Structure formats: C-alpha cells, structure tokens
Amino acid sequence: MDYKVEHIGIAVKDLDTSIPLFEQLLGSPCYKTESVDSEAVNTAFFLQQSTKIELLESSNPEGPIAKFINKKGEGMHHIAFEVPDIVAEMERLKKLGFTLLNETPKKGADNKLICFVHPKVTNGVLIELCQSID
C-alpha cells in the first residue's frame, strides 16, 4: 500500500497559545479550526506543502487528548495516512494481525472518515487511517 502522509497530529494544552506559536514557527496562518465532539477535541490546521499539521486540544478533561497530555505531556500524538478505501484497508490490516482501536470508521476532523491502529503494534506510534468523505 502506498500511503500518503495526510497530517501529523500534535497534542497541545491550549489552542489560543499554540496557534500563534505555530503560525510563527511555520510562517503560515492557521487555515481552519474545528470541534470534533466524537473525539472530544478542538483542532487547528496548518498546511505545509501537501502535508497538514493538526493541533489537538482536549475539549473534555477526561478525553483522550487530555489523558495523553497528562501521561506524556504536549507533543506528537499521531501520524495520519490517507487511504483510498478505509474499510478495505482496515480489513487488510486486521488480516495481518494489527489491532484497530475502532471496528468501523468514524467521522473525524476535516471531513474525513478515520480509524486508529493501536500503538502497541506499531512500535509505539499511534497511526490514523483517513479517507476523505467528499
């Protein structure tokens, strides 16, 4: 499978502080913010050539991003790969023995269907598969 890196997710405590920091760092504006209730996150996106940077702020103190930050601190959370058919790719990975964190794709940020691969089977890296809904 020829994966394209769709975005890199970075967990942050506060978007109001982090957005200006990354605008300065990357030399480009945040082009979109979005709340994703199903994941208990608020997101901010930056475009760097054909790859996006996604900042993730927890919208719930018990949400996955809050738990991640409490355990590991702010920093890289996941790498997302765009796939043409997320259901077929999930089936392929399951047959190969990978553990998926959800059985069916769910709606994520930026008009995508998403699924996560457990980091215990990917050398500690949380992998997100995503497919555009368009």
Tens of pLDDT, residues 82-125:
999 999 999 999 999 999 999 999 999 999 999 999 999 999 99
Residue 112's pLDDT is: 94
Q: How would residue 1 be classed by pLDDT, with cut points 50, 70 and 90? A: low
Q: Is pTM, for the whole model, over 0.95?
A: no
Number of separate helices (H) and strands (E) present in the chain: 3, 8
Looking at residue 2, what is its pLDDT? 76
Q: Is the pLDDT of residue 134 over 80?
A: no
In which band, very low, low, confident or very high, does the pLDDT at 3 lie, cut at 50, 70 and 90? Answer: confident
Sheet strands side by side (includes 127-132): 32-36, 41-48, 51-58, 4-12, 75-82, 127-132, 112-117, 106-108
